[in-house]
Amino acid sequence: MDEARSGIQYTLSPFTFSNLNTFKNVFFKNFKTAILATQPVNKNLITDCKFTNSRLGIEFGITNNNVGPTQNTIRSCFFEYIQRQAIKVFKGTANLCANNVFLNVGNNFGGVQNATFGQVEFDVPGNLNLDYSSTRHIDLSGYGANSYSTRPYVSEFTGYGLNTNNITFVKQIAYSLNEVEVMRFPLPVSNTSGAGPDSMSVEVDYLYQSSSFDPTSNDRQLFERSRRLRKGTFTVIVDFRTNLQSTAFINFYDDYEYVGYGITINPIANQSDEDINLIFQAKEQIFTKQNHREIIITYKHLALNINQAPFETGKLTYTYRVLT
């Protein structure tokens, strides 16, 4: 099938079960919902399809049905100009979304500055959204003159599941003795009433490269003293099961390996000369922007004797995954 014509109400019929169907290389355009199944559907494959100019892309299941869709796979599909969710699944488990691309999805047809809906939504645990590509994190996670940091960061995914992004992101680290907000992550709450986690974890795999590294130096001692790399993982665990309405329980861990000559000797801070003078933290509270709670990761440097260390700057390259 080369193209699905508009005007068809749904492509999966509302009969009792619809199993083992395959949609491959199908182009869906100008639908209210491109693929809609209001009854249980199982072990269907949707691959290499394109969805554009629609209210919703794929919607499986209904909230008042106790039997949900299971073991369906949506893989390598392209979604663009979708007003609400690209993929929305009610009740079902063991459904897989993998290697899908979302471009201007969930923005109410208004661009990322109008992010309103998640791009993938599962209302119960037990589903996966792996290796997706979305520009929303680039536009909403950062800070600076060209970012939308004053806008609420509505998560790319809402509800429950394991979500991994296959895009690599880069942040520049400038020297600062004060906390600098470097990235933010939203709590993946749902637009569907009653759907959404009360806890989550964010894991950020990162590589920090000091910009003071000078590979052309003819001074061996200077060359060795300039080699500084840190590879590790930030882990943020958030628990909203608290009696305090405006706060959450947050644990932040920075587990890393370090290579290079240290630049800090600060006995007061109990810091040796075998590390980089760079400390990452998570904000001690969750703040609200238009009812969207967000986690902020910050960095800062310790005050050092200028004769002991340069003003450390560098590049932070990272990927992330979220479990809810």
Region 135-148: mean pLDDT is 79
CA–CA distance from 77 to each of 28, 247, 273 (Å)? Answer: 11, 38, 50
Let me know whether 184 and 219 are in one domain.
yes
Let me know whether 178 and 293 are in one domain.
yes
Let me know whether 130 and 174 are in one domain.
no
How confident is the model at residue 144, as a pLDDT? 61
Number of domains making up the chain: 2
Let me know whether 163 and 179 are in one domain.
no
Of the residues 167, 191, 215, the one at which a domain ends: 167
Let me know whether 157 and 226 are in one domain.
no
Let me know whether 265 and 161 are in one domain.
no
Residue 245 token pair = 């309405």
pLDDT, tens digit, 9 for 90 and up, residues 48-58: 999 999 999 99
Higher pLDDT residue, 239 or 81? 81
Of the residues 167, 194, 222, the one at which a domain ends: 167
Under 8 Å between Cβ of 52 and 87: no
Give the domain extent around 185: 168-324
- Per mean pLDDT, which range of 81-85, 87-91, 94-98, 275-279 is the poorest? 275-279
Strands 199-210 and 228-239, by their bridges, are antiparallel
Task: For the beta carbon of residue 72, count every other beta carbon within 10 angstroms.
Answer: 24
Q: Which has the closest alpha carbon to 258: 224, 227, 214? A: 227
Phi and psi, residue 268, nearest 5°: -60, -40
- Per mean pLDDT, which range of 70-79, 113-122, 229-238, 293-302 is the poorest? 293-302
Region 262-277: mean pLDDT is 53
| % of the chain exceeding 70 in pLDDT | 73
How confident is the model at residue 213, as a pLDDT? 58
Of the residues 167, 184, 212, the one at which a domain ends: 167
Region 165-180: mean pLDDT is 90
Let me know whether 156 and 10 are in one domain.
yes
How confident is the model at residue 2, as a pLDDT? 38
Measured in Å, how far apart are the chain's first and last C-alpha atoms?
A: 37
Q: How far apart are CA 164 and CA 318, in angstroms?
A: 12
- Per mean pLDDT, which range of 97-101, 201-205, 277-281 is the poorest? 277-281
Task: For the beta carbon of residue 287, count every other beta carbon within 10 angstroms.
Answer: 13
